[in-house]
């Protein structure tokens, strides 16, 4: 496989989007994502920033146009901005269209200026509640004020923000319309996400799961939701809320399959390339990366990985008492 060959899987989907988890650690412990006393990887297992750069660069050379840095919480990775600044050379050269990140926003105020300078134009901020006590309960951290400061700082720096909120039964169910109004009132799109059964958590997943089909139906009883044709190649379906003028996305991995147009893969912070968020299939890139100072082996492994990308995930609706569909947490794969 040549180093410049584009990445096409066996179903003809061109892979041009890579999510990169730069750490599995986090400064929050969201109840649907992590257990309260998480065991994180030994730091020695992590790819170095240089290694992350090498793999990302290999993907850019294979036609990847979108890189999203995530985690865990990307902004807790030491010297994170060194990686961002290094990768921004691909924006300057035009090889990369977009360098972006998904963050919980807690440390965003510190980073907003630097991110904007490095060419980051939009980011996703995860925010599940605007109520201080509820936010603290869901995330196990009393940090709402810092997230809101981070959002303000990013806007000030000229970065566009999309809010991601996981829809939680007995969690933020009642707040969702207010959150949509708030986001749209501040010029931000918002996407609601169904919980996915990834990794052990203390709570019963079936107690948390809220069907977005039901949420949407309820919203349609007081709002006009007009379908938009926007498809980012991602799993979200978008509508325009006519009353607020803003865009609202729904990510429904359990109630709708979104795999037919999937053009993404995920790199874990230890160099494992996950071919699908909802399947165990993965390819190790760390060994070929470390085996040789040039990138031939790495490119060969990336090329071979494409043939293993499955057609679709096989999440099932959560059943009370069932083990998670996958043992790994979203924070490992990179959400």
Q: Does residue 29 bind ligand SF4 (CB under 6 A)?
A: yes
Going by C-alpha positions, the residue among 320, 326, 236 that lies closest to residue 278 is 326
Q: Does residue 326 bind ligand SF4 (CB under 6 A)?
A: no
Give CA–CA dist 61/51, Å, rounded. 15
Specify the stretch interacting with ligand SF4 by CB under 6 A; choose among 65-73, 111-119, 168-176, 292-300.
Answer: 65-73
Residue 176 site contact among ligand SAM, ligand SF4, none (CB < 5 to 8 Å, cut-off depends on kind):
none
Q: Does residue 71 bind ligand SF4 (CB under 6 A)?
A: yes
Residue 120 site contact among ligand SF4, ligand SAM, none (CB < 5 to 8 Å, cut-off depends on kind):
none
Give CA–CA dist 60/90, Å, rounded. 8
Q: Does residue 335 bind ligand SAM (CB under 6 A)?
A: yes
Smallest distance from ligand SF4 to CB 236, Å: 17
The answer to whether 11 and 118 have CB atoms below 8 angstroms apart is no
Burial track 184-205 (b if 16+ CB lie within 10 A, e otherwise): beeebbbbbbbbbbbbebeeeb
Residue 29 site contact among ligand SF4, ligand SAM, none (CB < 5 to 8 Å, cut-off depends on kind):
ligand SF4
Q: Does residue 33 bind ligand SF4 (CB under 6 A)?
A: yes
Give CA–CA dist 151/143, Å, rounded. 13
The answer to whether 288 and 298 have CB atoms below 8 angstroms apart is yes
Which residues have C-beta within 8 Å of that of residue 161, sequence separation ≥ 6? 122, 123, 124, 125, 151, 154, 155, 188
Q: Does residue 198 bind ligand SAM (CB under 6 A)?
A: yes
Binding test (CB under 6 A) with ligand SF4, winner from 46, 57, 72, 273: 72
Q: Which residues of this protein are in contact with ligand SAM, per CB under 6 A?
A: 26, 32-33, 70-71, 73, 102-104, 126, 164, 166, 193, 195-196, 198, 330-331, 335
């Amino acid at each position: 496989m040549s180093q410049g060959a584009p990445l096409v899987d066996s179903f003809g989907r061109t892979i041009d989007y890579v999510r990169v988890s730069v750490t599995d650690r986090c400064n929050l412990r969201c109840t649907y994502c992590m257990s309260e006393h998480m065991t994180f990887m030994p730091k020695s297992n992590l790819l170095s920033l240089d290694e992350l750069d090498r793999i990302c660069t290999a993907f850019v050379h294979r036609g990847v146009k979108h890189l999203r840095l995530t985690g865990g919480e990307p902004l807790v990775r030491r010297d994170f901005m060194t990686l961002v600044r290094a990768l921004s050379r691909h924006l300057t050269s035009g090889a990369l269209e977009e360098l972006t990140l998904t963050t919980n926003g807690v440390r965003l105020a510190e980073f907003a200026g630097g991110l904007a300078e490095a060419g980051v134009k939009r980011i996703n901020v995860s925010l599940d509640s605007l109520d201080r006590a509820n936010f603290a309960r869901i995330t196990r951290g009393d940090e709402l004020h810092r997230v809101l400061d981070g959002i303000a700082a990013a806007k000030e720096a000229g970065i566009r923000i999309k809010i991601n909120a996981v829809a939680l039964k007995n969690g933020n169910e009642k707040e969702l319309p207010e959150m949509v109004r708030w986001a749209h009132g501040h010029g931000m799109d918002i996407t609601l996400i169904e919980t996915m059964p990834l990794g052990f958590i203390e709570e019963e997943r079936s107690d948390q799961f809220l069907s977005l089909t039901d949420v949407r139906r309820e919203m349609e009883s007081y709002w006009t939701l007009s379908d938009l044709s926007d498809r980012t190649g991602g799993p979200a379906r978008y509508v325009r809320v006519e009353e607020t003028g803003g865009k609202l996305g729904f990510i429904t991995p359990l109630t709708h399959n979104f795999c037919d147009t999937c053009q993404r893969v995920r790199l874990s912070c230890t160099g494992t390339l996950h071919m699908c968020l909802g399947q165990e299939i993965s390819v190790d890139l760390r060994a070929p990366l470390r085996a040789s100072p040039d990138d031939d082996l790495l490119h060969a492994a990336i090329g071979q990985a494409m043939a293993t990308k499955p057609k679709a995930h096989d999440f099932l609706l959560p059943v009370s008492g069932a083990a998670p569909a996958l043992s790994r947490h979203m924070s490992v794969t990179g959400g």
